[in-house]
Amino acid sequence: MILFVGLGNPGKSYQNHRHNVGYMAVDAIADAFSFSTPKSKFQGQIREGKIGTNKVLVLKPETYMNLSGQSVGEAARFYKVPLDKVIVFHDELDLAPGKIRVKLGGGVAGHNGLRSLASHLGENFRRVRIGIGHPGDKALVHNYVLSNFARRDKTWVEPLLDAISKSAAFLVKGEDERFMTDVALQTKAEK
């Protein structure tokens, strides 16, 4: 079993924030593969489905970003999902908008959602880092991540989410490099 986790904050007022791109990514995957309708469980919204022959759960913690680890820890323990099968989609300031990187483990780089996950799970979960760019000044970061994507960002956000959903099977198979390459090729073709 694979657990896809989208990091974000619950509620309509947050839904288009840069900080919620993890939610957007897992919704795109669940919709593309016709996963079940969301159910409230583990302090979050969970959807079930299959990608290929693999059972996949999609979890969107509703504990707010800073407490995401509570929800994810509960789900991972309940389903006995090994850490390398927990794949977390999150926003990344240190990547250019539209770029993605996948890695296993690592630090939290000031990301409170990752900090919470690391405290509840340890650091050796897989991360899909989705670049949102940096506002250029550390003092502007808080307002930047907690604001909506600009209208011009739709030109890269929507194709990126579509590419992530079309390439998700590679993540399920543990083919992280191929996933990154496939997403890059698809988004390059969109430009």
Burial (0-12, 13-18, 19+ Cβ within 10 Å), 83: middle
User: Would residue 134 show up in a list of annotated catalytic residues for this protein?
Assistant: no
Distance CA 170, CA 167 (A): 6
**Inter-residue contact 2 to 57 (CB < 8 Å):** yes
Q: What span, in angstroms and rounded, lies between the C-alpha atoms of 29 and 47?
A: 11
Helix/strand/coil percent split, the chain, to 5: 45, 25, 30
CA distances 169 to 4, 59, 114, 185, Å, are: 12, 17, 24, 16
- Active site residue: 19, 90, 120, 134, which one? 19
Q: Which residue has the tokens 């988004």?
A: 187
For the annotated catalytic residues, the residue numbers are: 19
